[in-house]
Amino acid sequence: MQAKKIRVVWFNLPAYMRGYLPGGERVLVRGRVAAGADGLSMINTLPGMAIDPVTFRPALAGLSGGLSGPAIRPIAVRCVWAVREALPDVPIIGCGGVRTGRDALEFLLAGASMVALGTVLFHDPSACSRIQRELEEELAARGVDRVSDVVGRAHQTDVYAAERRSWV
């Protein structure tokens, strides 16, 4: 008997591809899923640029670069939220500006099935274990036993509104 080959396809969706149009990410995501994506990684970096005021020239050799880190987290969370709302069964890796367990919890509540770290690792190589510990503490403080219990939970406003108020 031959082992069955498993093909897993994940697409990374940079936010700039959606043009920031309301609903634009949902159109793009539906196309990726229809093409065979098993999951999505959202969002990566945003295009940015810096100008040197002394030379009056772009400061980066390639003219522009990618903005990452805490500044993009609200945009990333909104993108995860919108895609989870449109396609609740598609797994999402949320990324963009995660520095703490509470940041990770925010992505999970918005609908991410998993959370990825990037920029934080440049200045804190031990961030993975620290953020995991902080996330466990955040969940315990709210009486939640498993990460899976909070995935997409912010979408269930009618059911969990009273419970969420008790988390603050």
The pTM (predicted TM-score) of the whole model is 0.80
- What pLDDT score was predicted for residue 18? 46
Extract long-range pairs of 46-54: CB within 8 Å, 24+ residues apart: 46/14, 46/15, 46/16, 46/72, 46/75, 47/16
Cβ burial, residue 29 (10 Å; 0-12/13-18/19+): buried
- What pLDDT score was predicted for residue 20? 44
- What pLDDT score was predicted for residue 52? 94
Token pair belonging to 116: 């990825």
Mean pLDDT by 10 residues, the chain (168 residues): 56 52 62 81 86 94 88 91 88 94 97 95 95 97 95 80 50
Give the start-to-end residue ranges of the domains of the chain. Answer: 10-165
- What pLDDT score was predicted for residue 167? 46
∠ CA 92-158-89, rounded to 5°: 25
Cα distances (Å, whole numbers) of residue 151 to 64, 112, 125: 35, 6, 26
CATH no., domain 10-165: 3.20.20.70
- What pLDDT score was predicted for residue 168? 43
Token pair belonging to 162: 């009273």
- What pLDDT score was predicted for residue 21? 41
- What pLDDT score was predicted for residue 56? 95
